[in-house]
Structures are given as structure tokens and as C-alpha cells.
Amino acid sequence: LLPLRRARSLPMLNPEAPIFLYEDLAALIFGTRTLSEAGGEASSDADLAHAALLGSGLALVGVALILRRSDYAALLTCNWSIRQVIGITLICMLCLVLIGKLTLALFGGDLTTGKLGAIAVVGQNTLTFKMFRAIGMEYGFLALLIYAAIIVPLCEEVLFREVMLNSCSRYLSFLWANLVQAGLFAVFHEELSLGLFYVGMGVMSGLLRKHSGGLVPSVLVHGVNNAIVITALAWAPKTL
């Protein structure tokens, strides 16, 4: 359904998932071992952090290259007032907490411990968690906050709620287009036991995109969620 030029780019432009696509280049630039040389796993937090940093940089460049003028406009567009955005963001965060609790009750999975752990549904064996931990250990909490709460939400909201949702909407009703992009959003996060949470977040973000007229609310919700996740991880024992 997606235009071929854009569809081919999507897996490469997710800054969280495709570390295996960047690890050889990261090893060449930073002088670290590749995943294959390390027996299938990163040899250290530094290796994974470098690969994540490189992947994020390439993702930002790739996103910039595939965007149209209307896509850029969506990043700054919102039909709601600041008060409405704040209120709806708080409601969405509450919904995410409930979806997270329901997901864990139905399918199990890891709930990050800590005072803010109710919303931090990140499996500790997933690549997402390992990347967050590696960046935090190698570059510090501030760098991790910028990565997880700004770079990742921007890239993912543009890819899924702008490029993919708009492309699918050309051929499907909004209902089905929203479900498709939300399902793929869940698949890209590689943790099946938390799939319901990611689908719910994807559907919610798609609705925010449609009714607000832009990406500001969905980027904000995504960023706040990720900021709470990494804060919970930082407070949890033996994590960041």
C-alpha cells in the first residue's frame, strides 16, 4: 500500500529497532566489535550505544529526506489550544497506564520497577531496553533523555502517524489505516507480550494526529511516555 520509495525506507528509519543494520558501520567508525564478532550480542554497552547513536543520526537524515513539505508542516501544526493539548496529554497518559496494566495482566511481560513503574512497560530482555541502558551507561542520563524523549518520538511519529497513516489512508478507511500503522508500530518494538500496549498507543496516537490536525500532541504523548519510562528505569535497581 505504501509508495515503494517510502516503504523501503521505513525499517531503516526506526531509531530503536535496526541496530543490526548499523553495527558494522559503527564498528568501523568507533573501532568496536560487531555483533557477529561478539557472538551475536554487543560486546559492551559502548558498542550498543555507539550503534544506537549512529542509527539515530542516520534515521534523522533519512526521515528528513523522505518528508514532503506537508509532512514538515504537520510537525508544527495543531488545531488545539495549549490548555487542550495539556489536558488531552494527561488523559492519554492515564489511558496508557491502564492499557499497560491490562497488557501485563493478560499477557505477562516485564514491568519496570520503580516509583513510576506503572507506565514503564519495557521488557528487560528487549533490544529497546538494552539500547536505553547502553546509552545511559555510556553517555549519561541527559543524553538518554534526549534520545528517548525527543529523537525517538519525532522519528516514530513522523514515520507511523504521518507517512504510513497518510499513505494507507489513500487506499483504506481511516479506521483500517490506523489499525495497520498501529500494528506495524507494535511489530517494530519486537516484544510480542507487550503488543497490546503498543497497538493501543499507536491507535491513540493516530487519533491524536487526525483530530488535532498535526503531530504535536502525539509527539508530546510519546515523548512524555518515554521520559517516564527511562526515569523509572534509572530509579530501578540494576538497570541504568
Distances, alpha carbon 24 to alpha carbons 39, 46, 50, 92, 132, in Å: 14, 14, 11, 39, 20
Instruction: pLDDT tens for the chain, 240 residues: list them.
Output: 334 344 444 444 555 544 444 445 445 454 444 444 444 454 477 888 888 888 788 888 887 887 887 788 888 889 999 999 999 999 999 999 899 888 888 876 554 443 333 344 555 666 777 788 888 888 889 999 999 999 999 989 999 999 999 999 999 999 999 999 999 999 988 777 788 999 999 999 999 999 999 999 999 999 999 998 888 777 765 555
CB contact at 8 A, 124 and 112? yes
pTM: 0.79
As given in the structure block, the three cell numbers for residue 140 are 549519561
Q: Is 109 left (phi over 0), alpha (psi -120 to 50) or beta?
A: left
User: Residue 41 class from Cβ within 10 Å (0-12 exposed, 13-18 middle, 19+ buried)?
Assistant: exposed
CB contact at 8 A, 219 and 154? yes
- Distance between CA atoms of residues 240 and 237, nearest Å: 8
What letter would DSSP give residue 71? H
As given in the structure block, the three cell numbers for residue 66 are 523522505
